[in-house]
Amino acid sequence: MTSGTGAQIRPALPADVRAINAIVEPMTHTGILLGKDLVSYYEAVQEFLVAVDEDGTVVGCGALHVMWEDLAEVRTLAVSDTVRGTGLGHRMLEALLDRAVQLGLERVFCLTFEVEFFARHGFEEMAETVDPEIYSQLLRSPDEGIAEFLDLARVKPNTLGNTRMIKQLDRSA
């Protein structure tokens, strides 16, 4: 078993996309993550961080998708089976949250089955409503993640059982 503790986390490159897909794809069969076409990963590669082990193999990934001036979503957070349980997923999430703070964001959203994992990082089940003016702007987006954030009925069949969670960021740190 490879150790995830020594993995280096860095911004993803287009050359990492097939490795990201290889990590995510098995999780789409169990419904943990939604599947995406390769082109979607290439289009969003600048949103991704990857974890690379000592051999240069991509063993983890995660994306931070900005949704509004103060809000982003953690997407596609996954680690390879070879490093599951080593804490690498926690390190990946912390790196994404650090990135959100660097961008000046105030809140980070996720849609997840892994409620306990995200709760350990300060995420709470989402109960807040969106300001009507912002809501009308967000409705214009074709992005499915924004539809999930808004809890629109059209995404319900794809997200049954998932929990909408949000974290208020501490930008004073």
Q: What is the model's pLDDT at position 141?
A: 64
Q: Is residue 173 part of a domain?
A: no
Q: Indicate the number of domains in the chain.
A: 1
pLDDT-based confidence at 1, cuts 50/70/90?
A: very low
The most confident of the ranges 6-20, 69-83, 138-152 is 6-20
Buried b / exposed e along 47-59 (16+ C-beta atoms within 10 A): bbbbbbbeeeebb
pTM of the model: 0.83
Residue, of 13 and 30, whose pLDDT is higher: 13
In a domain, 45, yes or no: yes
Longest C-alpha distance within the chain, in Å?
50
pLDDT at 30: 83
Does 172 reside within a domain?
A: no
What's the whole-number average pLDDT of the chain?
Answer: 85
As a whole number, mean pLDDT of residues 112-123 equals 93
Whether pLDDT at 140 is above 70: no
Domain with 23 in it: what CATH number? 3.40.630.30
> Is 171 within the bounds of a domain?
no
Q: What is the domain extent for residue 96? A: 6-166
